[in-house]
Amino acid sequence: MGAKALDPLDLYDVRSELSEDEAMVKDTVGRFVDDRVIPLMREAFEQHTFPMELVGEVAALGLFGSSIDGYDCAGLNGVSYGLICQELERGDSGLRSFVSVQSSLVMFPIHAYGSDEQKDRWLPAMARGEAIGCFGLTEPHGGSDPGNMKTHAKKDGDDWIINGAKMWITNAPIADAAVVWAKTDEGVKGFIVEKDMPGYATQEIENKFSLRASVTGAQFFDNVRVPRASVLPGVSSLKGPLSCLTQARYGIAWGVIGAAQACLNEALNYSQDRVLFGKPVAHTQAMQIRLADMARRITTAQLLALRLGRLKDKGELTPSQVSLAKWNNCRAALDIARDARDILGGAGISAEYVPIRHMLNLESVITYEGTETVHQLVIGKELTGVNAFG
């Protein structure tokens, strides 16, 4: 056997399983993240702002709605979308969230359930980054139980009148259009609410200690009149928003691998440089076990994500399979980030090093798009056939 040195961040050489096109996507986005994203993210996180200057560049790379064919979108496969998320989140979960929301939660439902006019109007503009979208599902009284939604829409002639409120909505304060889910007499429907529609207001959520390089807000609907042309005609049930979440959770399962890789990389470098008791701390058994455990978790997450991606590209992916990967990979990434933070000792609490930022971000990522408990219950239901949510 040849003694080929293994890549510490890819011990099973998952890269060799990628097609040429997939590897090219990974490398292109990876270079963008190294050159343009990483230098900006620390300050963006500290300033509690999203770096808007990146939007045009992300669009030029074809990263918005990358899985959609036509409408100025790149038409890439599911594995490529996963790799995009992974590379972006190696930079920061805030940027990956921006791209996930725009692609999976806004462009996906417009493409899957929208009219031709809605697709023509919004998809190319969103692909070019000229229009920013957001997705309003969660409400203040409990995001894990979207069936208990209070926001509702009533028909009034050819229009609909929306009343209610949404909470924790990524990009709400900066979005040109919001895909908003509301209860109606005909089931749960998706509405494209535009930022200047009378009665629609947003408020930024201040003082977040997680995902600080991402804008999060509340949405308020006070008799917002929406024309029939702005209702997504293709869906009238919770299946609509849930199908969007499956897409986004899929991207998260990949994305968090990038955050974990950034943390392992930092922990490796630091522990090899840090001399304690006369030798680099990386030369101790205790430290090597911790580093090895990080690599084990990353490798497992990579293999899970790749298998998930291949299932997606064969059209065989199920929501429970996505739940398992979202749960496993978020848990792995968060544990790795916390341990990397500790491996850096006191330096680990400084934003000069990446683990504390990733660690804080991952507290959101493990919560949004279904908390860890929610995904565990999805698997429990898959195994037993019994719904234990209630």
Nearer to ligand FAD, 284 or 371 (CB): 371
Q: How far is the CB of 119 from ligand FAD (least distance, A)?
A: 21
Q: At CB < 8 A and 24+ separation, what contacts does 28-37 make?
A: 28/61, 29/61, 29/63, 29/83, 29/84, 29/87, 29/88, 30/87, 30/90, 32/57, 32/61, 32/87, 33/87, 33/88, 33/90, 33/91, 37/88, 37/91, 37/92, 37/95
Nearer to ligand FAD, 144 or 350 (CB): 144
User: Other C-beta atoms within 10 Å of 228: how many?
Assistant: 12
Question: SS3 sequence, the chain?
Answer: CCCCCCECCECCCHHHHCCHHHHHHHHHHHHHHHHHHHHHHHHHHHHCCCCHHHHHHHHHCCCCCCCCEECCEECCCHHHHHHHHHHHHHHCHHHHHHHHHHHHHHHHHHHHHCCHHHHHHHHHHHHCCCCCEEEECCCCCCCCCHHHCCCEEEEECCEEEEEEEEEEEECHHHCCEEEEEEEECCEEEEEEEECCCCCEEEEECCCCCCCCCCCEEEEEEEEEEEEHHHECCCCCCCHHHHHHHHHHHHHHHHHHHHHHHHHHHHHHHHHHHCEECCEEHHHCHHHHHHHHHHHHHHHHHHHHHHHHHHHHHCCCCCHHHHHHHHHHHHHHHHHHHHHHHHHCHHHHHCCCCCHHHHHHHHHHHCCCCCCHHHHHHHHHHHHHCCCCCC
Q: How far is the CB of 140 from ligand FAD (least distance, A)?
A: 8
User: Residues near 157 by Cβ (< 8 Å), separated by ≥ 6?
Assistant: none
Q: Which of the following is catalytic: 17, 206, 369, 382?
A: 369
Nearer to ligand FAD, 46 or 389 (CB): 389
Nearer to ligand FAD, 26 or 357 (CB): 357
Nearer to ligand FAD, 130 or 389 (CB): 389
Length of the chain equals: 390
Nearer to ligand FAD, 135 or 270 (CB): 135
Q: How far is the CB of 48 from ligand FAD (least distance, A)?
A: 12
Q: How far is the CB of 41 from ligand FAD (least distance, A)?
A: 16
Q: How far is the CB of 240 from ligand FAD (least distance, A)?
A: 13
Sites of contact with ligand FAD (CB under 6 A): 101, 135-138, 142-144, 168-170, 211, 216, 364, 367-369, 371, 373-374, 377, 389
Q: Is 369 a catalytic residue?
A: yes
Nearer to ligand FAD, 142 or 187 (CB): 142
CA-to-CA distance for 8 and 268, rounded, in angstroms? 9
Nearer to ligand FAD, 97 or 271 (CB): 97
Q: How far is the CB of 232 from ligand FAD (least distance, A)?
A: 16
Q: How far is the CB of 218 from ligand FAD (least distance, A)?
A: 11
Q: How far is the CB of 116 from ligand FAD (least distance, A)?
A: 26
Active site residues: 369
